């Protein structure tokens, strides 16, 4: 086989065979494919597109380019993936809640991307939490606790690692086929039996329209099912942030509040919706009730604390998280510039305000400040008088705090009427 014989058909609008794609993925992983060839391949897929079969073949080839975990456990091995949103810390609540319901969750997570936060960055706000245990330790924690949230090992889906970096610099990130293969190759390498996808749509998501989110959700579901992983997708609204807090330590606080039964709201509701869909597809009935009980009884919180301890975190997280999490030195109210009802939020701008505070990266090499962000962000429909706080900015210094105040005021629109939208817009099986 020769790289040109895989790339040339794409140029002519034809699909490479499954064998050709498997060979190409292996070559991406072992370095026999050059950066130029990988870039030409990515552009070819971007322009010509792949059909359902070739997309599934590329996904499986990229999954098989490195280690694929298999499990011998006494209950289903399940997971969730979100396409990324603002204040989206569902994984921190859902993984331990699922574990408390008796299933296993080996969750391979990522870092922040663009304006969206990353689960690994959030977990690293917990003092001592090690996101990269060795493979044996990861397996042991999943078996003992029921869940472990960690980073991909260096040999999981290495073809994606290589291709993703090349897509990033060749304007080929925005291909439905490449996004599907990239997301799913990593998830499927974790040896899952079932997966639920949270495909976000709206101002705070990468997919701004429901039509685009539907198309991505359908492609992801079809591809994952073709690869043998029973998968459901919920298209969910990102018209406003999910959790009241945005930022790394601040989102750990939001997640712990839901885990310990001190808060409910959108984060709680969507956790139940996603978990119920996942458990239902695995043949476990009354999943919603079981998850709600896991949260109200404190069993899910215990699982989270146990996982955290096993990964090097503090022994007294549940008793003392407010004292343990890093705190920003400056906290300032953001006053509403006018009276009215909160009628729209630019979630991407709110996410970027957190990035500019230092809570995310502008360059890949940036070090994230775990303590900064926005707390107690108002919800759509909230009635405000002029000067009422719409949130608090947590900042490292006065300059960044003042810039964030301006950015938040510009991102929140106040008008006459609230716009209500359901959280779950569509379910795709």
Q: Going by C-beta distance under 8 Å and a sequence separation of 6 or more, which residues neighbour residue 297?
A: none
Q: How many angstroms separate the Cα of 202 from the Cα of each of 272, 291, 378?
A: 21, 27, 17
Minimum CB distance to ligand URA, residue 178 (Å): 6
Q: Is 182 in the site for ligand URA (CB under 6 A)?
A: yes
CA 314/CA 123 separation, integer angstroms: 12
Q: How far apart are CA 11 and CA 237, in angstroms?
A: 37
DSSP secondary structure letter of residue 356: I
81 catalytic per annotation: yes
- Window of 13-21, 33-41, 175-183, 233-241 that interacts with ligand URA by CB under 6 A: 175-183
Does 186 participate in catalysis according to the annotation? Answer: yes
Size of the site for ligand URA (CB under 6 A): 4
Q: How far is CA 343 from CA 266, 337, 383, in A?
A: 17, 14, 10
Is 153 marked active-site?
no
- CB nearest ligand URA: which residue? 182
Q: How far is the CB of 167 from ligand URA (least distance, A)?
A: 7
Q: Is 382 a catalytic residue?
A: no
57 to each of 223, 224, 228, 252, how far by Cα in Å? Answer: 9, 11, 12, 38
| Residue from 55, 81, 122, 303 carrying the catalytic annotation | 81
Nearer to ligand URA, 95 or 412 (CB): 95
In the residue annotation, 139 being an active-site residue is answered as no
Nearer to ligand URA, 81 or 214 (CB): 81
Residue 182 designated active-site? yes
**Which listed range, 92-100, 176-184, 195-203, 243-251, lies at the site for ligand URA (CB under 6 A)?**
176-184
Neighbour tally for 420: CB within 10 Å = 8
Nearer to ligand URA, 68 or 330 (CB): 68
Rounded CA separation 264/282 (Å) = 26
- Nearest approach, Cβ of residue 126 and ligand URA (Å): 23
Least distance from ligand URA to the Cβ atom of residue 118, Å = 10
Say how far apart CA 221 and CA 103 lie, in whole Å: 21
187 is catalytic: yes
Cβ proximity to ligand URA, 179 vs 403, nearer residue: 179
Q: What binding mask, one character per residue, do residues 267-306 give for ligand URA by CB under 6 A, x or -?
A: ----------------------------------------
Find the binder of ligand URA among 1, 73, 179, 330 (CB under 6 A).
Answer: 179
Nearest CA to 254 among 268, 272, 238, 273? 268
Nearest to 405 by CA among 393, 417, 395: 393
Q: What is the nearest approach in angstroms of ligand URA to the Cβ of residue 183? A: 5
Nearest distance, CB of residue 259 and ligand URA, angstroms: 26
Q: Is 80 a catalytic residue?
A: yes
CA dihedral 344, 346, 126, 359 (to 10 degrees): -150
Point out the catalytic residue in the list 63, 187, 230, 306: 187
Point out the catalytic residue in the list 59, 64, 79, 254. Answer: 79
Q: Would residue 232 show up in a list of annotated catalytic residues for this protein?
A: no
75: helix, coil or strand? coil
Give the interface segment with ligand URA, choosing from 174-182, 251-259, 316-324, 335-343 (CB under 6 A): 174-182
In the set 55, 111, 122, 167, the catalytic residue is: 167
Q: Which residues make Cβ contacts (< 8 Å) with residue 392, sequence separation at least 6?
A: 331, 332, 333, 334, 374, 375, 376
Closer to ligand URA by Cβ: residue 178 or 352: 178
Q: Which stretch binds ligand URA (CB under 6 A): 51-59, 99-107, 137-145, 177-185?
A: 177-185
Residue from 59, 65, 83, 119 carrying the catalytic annotation? 119
Write down the least CB distance from residue 97 to ligand URA, Å.
24
Considering beta carbons, is residue 109 or 260 the nearer one to ligand URA?
A: 109
318 binds ligand URA (CB under 6 A): no
| Cα three-residue angle 165-44-58, rounded to 5 degrees | 70
C-beta of 55: minimal distance to ligand URA in Å? 13
Strand order in the sheet with 194-201: 78-82, 194-201, 230-237, 424-428
Query: What one-character-per-residue DSSP string does 261-317 give?
Result: TS--HHHHHHHHHHHHHHHHHTT-SSHHHHHHHHHHTSHHHHHHHHHHHHTT--TTH
CB 108 within 8 A of CB 190: yes
Residues that are catalytic: 79-82, 119, 167, 182, 186-187
Return residues touching ligand URA (CB under 6 A).
178-179, 182-183
């Amino acid at each position: 086989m020769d790289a040109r014989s895989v790339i040339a058909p794409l140029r002519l609008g034809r699909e490479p065979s499954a064998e050709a794609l498997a060979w190409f993925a292996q070559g991406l992983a072992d370095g026999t494919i050059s950066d130029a060839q990988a870039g030409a391949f990515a552009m070819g897929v971007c322009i010509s597109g792949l059909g359902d079969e070739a997309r599934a073949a590329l996904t499986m080839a990229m999954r098989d380019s490195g280690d694929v975990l298999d499990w011998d456990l006494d209950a289903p091995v399940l997971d969730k993936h979100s396409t990324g949103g603002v204040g989206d810390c569902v994984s921190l609540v859902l993984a331990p809640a699922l574990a408390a319901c008796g299933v296993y969750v080996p969750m391979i997570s990522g870092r922040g991307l663009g304006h969206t936060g990353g689960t690994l960055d959030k977990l690293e706000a917990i003092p001592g939490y090690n996101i990269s245990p060795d493979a044996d330790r990861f397996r042991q924690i999943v078996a003992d606790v029921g869940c472990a949230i960690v980073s991909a090992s260096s040999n999981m889906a290495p073809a994606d690692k290589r291709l993703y970096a090349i897509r990033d610099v060749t304007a080929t990130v925005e291909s439905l086929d490449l996004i599907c293969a990239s997301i799913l190759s990593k998830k499927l390498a974790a040896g899952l039996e079932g997966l639920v996808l949270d495909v976000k749509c709206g101002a705070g998501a990468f997919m701004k329209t429901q039509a685009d989110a539907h198309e991505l959700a359908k492609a992801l579901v079809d591809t994952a099912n073709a690869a043998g992983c029973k998968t459901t997708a919920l298209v969910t609204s990102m018209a406003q942030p999910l959790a009241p807090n945005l930022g790394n330590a601040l989102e750990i606080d939001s997640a712990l509040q839901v885990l310990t039964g001190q808060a409910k709201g959108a984060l709680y509701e969507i956790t139940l919706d996603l978990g119920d869909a996942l458990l239902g597809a695995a043949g476990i009935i009354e999943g919603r009730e079981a998850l709600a009980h896991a949260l109200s009884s404190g069993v899910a919180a215990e699982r989270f604390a146990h996982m955290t301890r096993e990964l090097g975190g503090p022994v007294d997280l549940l008793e003392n998280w407010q004292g343990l999490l890093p705190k920003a030195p400056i906290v300032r109210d953001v006053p509403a510039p006018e009276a009215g009802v909160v009628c729209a939020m630019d979630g991407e701008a709110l996410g970027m305000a957190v990035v500019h505070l230092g809570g995310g990266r502008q360059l890949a090499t940036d070090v994230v400040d775990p303590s900064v962000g926005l707390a107690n962000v108002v919800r759509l429909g909230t009635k405000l008088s002029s000067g009422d706080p719409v949130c608090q900015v947590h900042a490292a210094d006065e300059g960044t705090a003042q810039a964030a105040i301006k950015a938040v005021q510009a991102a929140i629109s106040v008008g006459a009427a609230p716009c209500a939208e359901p959280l779950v817009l569509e379910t795709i099986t």
